[in-house]
Chain A
Amino acid sequence: MAFTSAVITFPGSNCDRDMAVAVEQVCGGTVHRVWHGDADLPEGLDFIALPGGFSYGDYLRSGAMAARSPVMQAVVRAAERGVAVLGVCNGFQVLTEAGLLPGALMRNAGIRFVCRDVKLTVENAQSLFTAGYSAGQQITIPVAHHDGNYFADDQTLDRIEGEGRVAFRYAEQVNGSARQIAGVLNDRGNVLGMMPHPERMIETAQGGTDGRALFESVVRGLVNA
């Protein structure tokens, strides 16, 4: 069965092409490009990616407007059916605003936009998205964001930590995120949101390939499922 995926483009998305290239190169199969105003997703999707950028100019709150766009109603329904959904950077913000992931992403604690490679620790190497890594492995992935400061109340943080839903943690101080959380899974494990950009680390020309294993994990997990 051919791997079928979709990359959603919102007005103001700017990593959608990078994401589509990464999915195409690493996952293969068919990559559909879907516009935010579409109320329906293509049939038979295995994987949906929400890219980085500044959807709707970050008006109101980062990701807030995109989370209420027509296509997101379809993405929420697909996620509830078990379709794998990855949100990177602005995509992570959209997923929290849409209620698919707990918590919120606030202005970086240092106020400044942070754009550099950061070291991450793989916390959970058994999820659909991270099975290609080993637990505790350190990887290098770039971040580029202004609102990446992950916030949730202590009770929620305790719960997601206890359930193994912290996929990645910053190995260094980056943006003030609670417990240095860089990536979070939903309770079912089919939705991952993360601020760092794995799609920008898939070939050596980009400075590293530490992002490849994430896309490889998804294909392996879904094709074997």
Chain B
Amino acid sequence: MKVRVIVTLKNGVLDPQGRAIHHALEGLGFAGVNDVRAGRVIELDVADATSDESLDEMCRKLLANMVIENYRIEKAA
């Protein structure tokens, strides 16, 4: 089973990388970009029997740092 974990910074957490990307986009002449937030996508190939609880635990224990990040799990159809 292919699983995609999307890790994003929590609201209110300053994102220097997103800000640098924002500046770079403006530097390239793209107008109207209001904000940029950078995150991370982690693709997993797991056994079909892997439970949602287990995936959740993987995210909380390692893939995301719950102090600063949120995560979302998407299963490939």
Contacts and interface: CB of A to CB of B under 8 A. Distances in A.
A136 interface: no
A33 to B, nearest CB: 27
B16 A107 contact: yes
B17 A151 contact: no
Interface in B1-20: 13-14, 16-17, 20
Interface stretch (B27-35, B47-55, B59-67): B59-67
Interface residues of B, number: 11
A152 B13 CA distance: 9
A60 interface: yes
A145 to B, nearest CB: 13
Contacts of B61: 68
B67 A151 contact: yes
A62 to B, nearest CB: 10
A76 to B, nearest CB: 14
Contacts of A151: 13-14, 67-68
Interface of B: 13-14, 16-17, 20, 61-63, 65, 67-68
